Structure 1
Amino acid sequence: MFTRLLEFGGDMSDSDASLIAAELMYLAREGSATDRANAAADPRVPLEGLWLLARDSDPGVRGAVVLNPEVPAAVLEAIAAANDDLREKAGTHPNAPLELMESVPLIWHTQRSLVRYTERQGTSGHTRDELLSAWSQAHSRSDWTTTLGQTWTVIAGGPHEKP
């Protein structure tokens, strides 16, 4: 029954969504490493499940949390702080905290993460285009060291302002 619910792709009632969330929580707690990784990457996993899976003993499960499109900034920040091997991957997620994003080499980012970064900065389309151009140039030069933060300082005159 659970597997059938997870594969359900149509319109869901609240009870269907609740059952899916319950199954994902069950998998997060009791599943094999593969089951836990699948639950971690599923955008329907509840926040409680993401926190649980972010502390999983299996590095593949923690890595799958970073791949979840709905993972919040706080979870990404916690994963990056506790797992040096996942810091750069977490920093390229569109939901990552700005400071974490800025600490990662520009070349590691995706267009999606950079567009999201500029949206969160509240910048113009021109500034976004400049950043995407710098990203493309970093790829052309194979520049693996210049960070997003360093690039942003040149383009926008400084890193993001802290609240």
Structure 2
Amino acid sequence: MTETAAVQRGPDVEYQLVITLDAPPEEVFRAWTDPERLTHWFAPHGFSTPRKHIDLDVRPGGSWQAEIWRDNAPASRLSGTYVDVDRPERLVFTTGDPSNRDGTPASVVTVAFVDLLGRTEMRFCQAGYHTAPAHADRARAGWVQFFERLTAYLEADHPE
């Protein structure tokens, strides 16, 4: 009998972004986990993520998906699974399936929310699997725009 063992492959690329937000960790955590809030910032500039195209089951093993739109048409669909939810300190989720064998790019995202006496240091790390460096560079540039929008959303007067 021949046995084969699955080999856990490490990420191809990994990067981190650290940003300080003018809101407490609980509010930043809610911006990530409440569809009514996520719709306001979860897209790069010039795009939107309509509320009706967001589905979040925020629990370990729960799925998430969001369609990013441009000019009233879907531009891309992001989806994955929540791995760890530690309110309001940490959120870990996949985009795509990092264990897939078809070579489709995927990643694991870890977001830590550190309390800075009413402000939040958000530490974002994305580890890409089956991911070329150029793809990771585009993803990183996109996240920078997402976080610019998140910053503006948290700084604006918005209903609770």
The structure whose residues are more often strand, as a share, is 2
Between 1 and 2, higher relative CO (CA 8 Å, sep ≥ 6) is seen in 2
The structure whose residues are more often helix, as a share, is 1
Larger radius of gyration: 1
Q: Same fold (TM over 0.5)?
A: no
Give the TM interval when normalised to the shorter protein.
under 0.3
TM-score, structure 1 normalization: 0.24
